[in-house]
Structure 1
């Protein structure tokens, strides 16, 4: 057997040394590896399926080098270690509590997602989020207790905060207002109470969802409560009360979606909402609104595509400006106290074959559950089966036979219930 030449032996030795050096260069920083290990040890072993990401974390090996999933790393300049920048667990049903080290001992962490699992208990309080953390997603778990106020500081770079579908209680910490980089905050479907803190200084916030809590107080009673950067405000099924002020709407010039369905908002629907320069979806159903103001320009400049005012206490005639809103396609004015006749302009929009140079057709016109009376507009009799969805059920329209689809449903009210008709 031929011997290996000394030169080849030397080259092989150099390769081994270089490989060992390279392995040392990609090693995970010990403190980061320890924080990952503490996360795994905090999870109930019985809740870790064999196929899951967390089951593959073998700390006899280097996390950044060989972990197949759940961890992202970065090699800082002039460093001999990799640092953990992202932790993203799969929705495998993991159950356990979160150790403080996940938040306190990963200084390079930019992304943390534990969404759609069964983590529970209170979040560790006392330490702020890492300044470089940009996305925190703890949605769809079973966390309880208050949202830690200590998480939020002016030094934070947090851009997205997802705490929805948990069991958090207490108020929204006023310290969230210090998050100048936050763009999206989703807190829906928890047990949060109290009033909304002043958030006008959150100059980057665009998307806010507070639905399905028990929040109260006013939301749009004055300018400055919400940041002017907001594009979407969704706060369905809370206990927000008070009126909607035109000045507060004007202070949100970028807003495209306002959804306050299922609250206790009172007063008038301000005409300024119909003339808002950006607002496309206005959903104020199931509140305690009493009147609808006409749009200042008759509705011609409105950007609304959807308007839902159903389930309020609105009285008087159906607002004429609705028929003039050029982009409006979905209209819900049902379950109110409107009287008088159905405007011919409403019928024309609902039965049109296509758009005109002034407006698009209605695709949905819900007027049921009011006190509308008089003769049906003749255009409605031409409504096609494949046309707009229209409902006039449960009104004061005795000449609304069930042969028409828009008359089907709850029967018309009795004469004793209906007021005198002024078409």
Structure 2
């Protein structure tokens, strides 16, 4: 409910605009809403776009910048369909009166200093297709009314101070293809339902945690780009993630993933995966040959994990004699010799430094920085053998304590 002061302010603006409203190109309700929006912004800079909005001198649809209008044959007045402000450091709360611009399709206020909560009413605009509020200082949770914005195609709220969790029920947003909530303060897991026709999903630079669930991502048949870097996600990355039918780029770096399972694509050439970044996690195990069987995969980063074993020769010869064009494996515990094909390919870009590899001197660009000291490599090898022995011992104990007694009982009957 509006306070009396806000009601009085809105009526005052409306009365001051009365001479314009009675003889205007722009719909009167749009003029009033736009004037209220401007009045909530503090000190527009001289020569900025907003400083040129003079409601007493010209009609909003004739403003020199920031406004796009459309006039249909059935309407007497033009309607404001787009507002795009320049990044001039505009500051203030976002006026809820924007919800009265019922023909608005595009709103871009990025690169400014707007603050406070995002009005819930904005997501109820019936024609809104693009909402870009990136690089401001908005706070509070993402309004639940987002799930009602059925016409929305692109939403970018990145680089703000938003808190809370990702809205759980976004499955009804069938028109949304781009969702960017990166670099906020969002927490919790990625759960619920995501927009089914998403093409790009960016949630990087938050504090999201938990596991990636197949039930959440598998329905995304059109997803091409997934960016989840810089969170607290954990667990083992399973094959289904790399076999999403339209996936091309995936950045899961700077998380806490511990394992990697990859199956070869069932039909050669059907997978479109081009680049994956799994760097700066806690992934253990050996490098998987199956990665080389993704026909379009050209760039792989697994730097700064806990990988051991050799670099598969298939990584430089699998695809018609040509392997990955970009391969970053520095900061692991890989051993043995680097396949010579990497040194012979002048177009190859990558790094094998800071491992336990042989024949890879730091004087060579792709072997920089220097390999780990021998003492560190031996300690890691002993650590790996220790856990291998523990694993084998546990299997033997299971066989002795459970399988054999059960077998003896069955045989005695």
TM-score band w.r.t. shorter chain: 0.7 to 0.9
How many positions carry a matched residue from both structures? 359
Asked if residue 47 in structure 1 is aligned to residue 33 in structure 2, the reply is no
Determine if contact 2:277/2:300 at 8 Å carries over to the other structure. Answer: yes
Partner residue of 1:177? 147
Question: Offset at 1:368?
Answer: 0.4
In the other structure, the counterpart of 1:331 is 300
Q: CA deviation at 1:253?
A: 0.8
1:63 matched residue in structure 2: 59
CA distance in 2, matches of 1:268, 1:65: 55
Q: CA deviation at 1:134?
A: 1.0
Alignment gaps of 5+ in structure 1 = 1-23, 84-107, 350-354
Residue 242 of structure 1 corresponds to: 210
Confirm or deny that 1:364 pairs with 2:326: yes
C-alpha change, 1:298 and 1:371, in structure 2 (3 Å) is farther
Residues in 1 aligned to 2:358 and 2:114: alpha-carbon distance in whole angstroms: 55
Conserved in 2, the CA contact under 8 Å of 1:139 and 1:163?
yes
The Cα of 1:274 is off from its aligned counterpart by 1.9
2:99 aligns with one of 123, 128, 140: 128
Q: Is the 8 A contact 2:40 2:95 kept in 1?
A: no
Deviations 1:203-261 (A, max 9, x none): 11100111111111111x4xx52011101101111111111123322111110000101
Q: Which residue of 2 aligns with 1:375?
A: 337
8 Å CA contact 2:66–2:83 kept in 1: the answer is: no
Normalised by the length of structure 1, the TM-score is 0.76
Measured in 1, the distance between the counterparts of 2:63 and 2:122 equals 29
Return closer, same or farther for 1:402/1:179 CA change in 2, 3 Å cut-off.
same
- Compared CA separation, residues 379 and 70, structure 1 to 2 (3 A): closer
Distance in 2 (CA, whole Å) between partners of 1:145 and 1:394 is 46
Equivalent residue number for residue 381 of structure 2: 420
Distance of aligned partners of 1:327 and 1:129 in 2 relative to their CA distance in 1, 3 Å threshold: farther
State the secondary structure of the residue aligned to 1:416. Answer: helix
Change (3 A) 1:113 1:341: same
Shift of 1:43: 5.8
Instruction: List gaps (5 residues or longer) in structure 2.
Output: 1-21, 385-413
Corresponding residue number in structure 2 for 1:392? 352
Residue of 93, 112, 120 corresponding to 1:149: 120
Alpha carbons of 1:403 and 1:63: their partners in 2 closer, same or farther (altered >3 Å)? same
Aligned to 2:290: 321
Moved more, 160-169 or 34-43: 34-43
Partner of 1:254: 222
Cα distance between partner residues in 1 of 2:312 and 2:252:
22
